[in-house]
Chains A and B, each alone.
Chain A
């Protein structure tokens, strides 16, 4: 079972959980339905993408835990404490942790609880969870990170506690910098076994080494669109939970996002809400049609 968790920027939203289903422009989590702009922000974009890919594959719906948090961290702490207590009862095979406010003890306790499970889930982190894992030196307790160029620069800088403190930032991902930074991050213990470096050229990394490069189709207008990185994280989560080998799932997720981008025909003002519905067709083209 795939478990997705993170915060939603809705003030006062209590801890909400259940099976998820994206339909039309609505995302349902248990009994709670997010509509309009709330569907497609941060964690919700990731969950929507995972739901759409699961539907395209005919897989079971993912389970999600979300809570309101607009940056002060109260929601994050409640969410992590709850997951820490409930993880062994839920028994997920894959856990994806997304937008959270970095914390110390609650985050460490959650990761330790996952590692104490009889069968440890495959652990994925992106966004705040990725920043948090590196800052508290627990990156290698995870299996997969999905950084963008800013985040891989951060992972490779052993002294940086946040991307704002990175001394040598890369903006343009090329064939030299991504392999070098990935290798450095891994050697420093600040990257897990697998990574997708999400950028105009995507890289799949295994043990600090490049295992795949995905360039096509190329859709430059996707870069400004907020949420296109979040959707890759949701897509790869669904594919791994479905049983695809990890490298294959990473490669397929990058392709699905690119094909969805091509189908969307975006410009820099396109919203992620307009993008997500095309993921279904893209997933079918990339994964289902190939059996």
Chain B
């Protein structure tokens, strides 16, 4: 029998930076959550909201406040309200260029050198922190240097974090194979 749909609450943020931190904090604490686009009135084009069960929202809010994550608002959603989820896990493509691998997730691409794991290029996106992340990540070894979610503040950075994770997974598999 399908699980009965629960009432949902939506945590919305002024800045994606705080949404990304909230996702990380709530994930670590074991909350059941979904990343979704906020309702139209809250959108600017660079948004991410976190949907949790309404029964969990007080605990989630307290934890986020404790961790200095700034919340813009909490909205209680009518049962059956449809919000657009993030589709990033379905949007992955990898291209093998011989000595290099490019991983594309959504509109973001990251390319690393197979032999060293060194990040050689980042492409895509349109928010101001993407060139900033390029400066900080170029030349670092994937999995050892700064991560997009630590430095990024926009949904393009959040997308890049997914690409980074996929690239890291591929690189680690390749390294393990080589080590065998």
Contacts and interface: CB of A to CB of B under 8 A. Distances in A.
Contact of A72 (B100, B102, B131, B153): B153
A221 B97 contact: yes
Interface string A86-110: 0000000000001111111000000
B9 interface: no
A189 interface: no
A165 B37 CA distance: 7
Interface stretch (B21-29, B85-93, B170-178): B85-93
B108 to A, nearest CB: 8
Interface in B72-122: 84-88, 90-91, 93, 95, 97, 99-100, 102, 104, 106-109, 111, 113, 120-122
Contacts of A42: 128, 130-131
Interface in A135-185: 135-136, 148, 150-151, 154, 159-167, 169, 171
Interface string A50-71: 0000000000000000000111
B151 to A, nearest CB: 8
A226 interface: yes
A268 B124 contact: no
A197 interface: no
Contact of A224 (B90, B121, B131): B121
B87 A165 contact: yes
Interface string A211-227: 00000000001011111
A99 B131 contact: yes
A225 B104 CA distance: 13
A223 B127 CA distance: 19
B43 A135 contact: yes
Interface in A112-146: 126-132, 134-136
B145 interface: no
B59 interface: no
A141 B111 CA distance: 35
A131 B46 contact: yes
Residue of B86, B107, B109, B113 contacting most chain A CB atoms (<10 Å): B107
Contact of A102 (B37, B46, B120, B138): B46
Contacts of B43: 135, 161
Contact of B97 (A99, A129, A162, A224): A224
A226 B44 contact: no
B10 interface: no
Contacts of A9: 128-129, 131-132, 135
A221 B43 CA distance: 36
A139 to B, nearest CB: 11
A101 B135 contact: no
Contacts of B113: 269
Contacts of B155: 162, 164
Interface in B16-52: 17, 37, 43-48
B140 interface: no
B128 A71 contact: yes
A13 B102 CA distance: 32
Given A135-B44, A171-B104, A71 B157 contact: yes
Given A151-B126, A164-B48, A225-B121, 13 more contacts: A41-B135, A42-B130, A43-B131, A101-B128, A130-B126, A162-B46, A163-B106, A163-B159, A164-B107, A169-B87, A169-B91, A223-B109, A267-B100
20 contacts: A42-B130, A71-B132, A75-B128, A99-B131, A100-B128, A101-B127, A102-B46, A128-B128, A161-B45, A163-B107, A164-B48, A164-B158, A167-B87, A169-B90, A223-B123, A224-B111, A226-B122, A227-B123, A228-B123, A268-B111
Interface of A: 7-9, 37-38, 41-44, 69-73, 75-76, 98-104, 126-132, 134-136, 148, 150-151, 154, 159-167, 169, 171, 221, 223-229, 267-269, 271
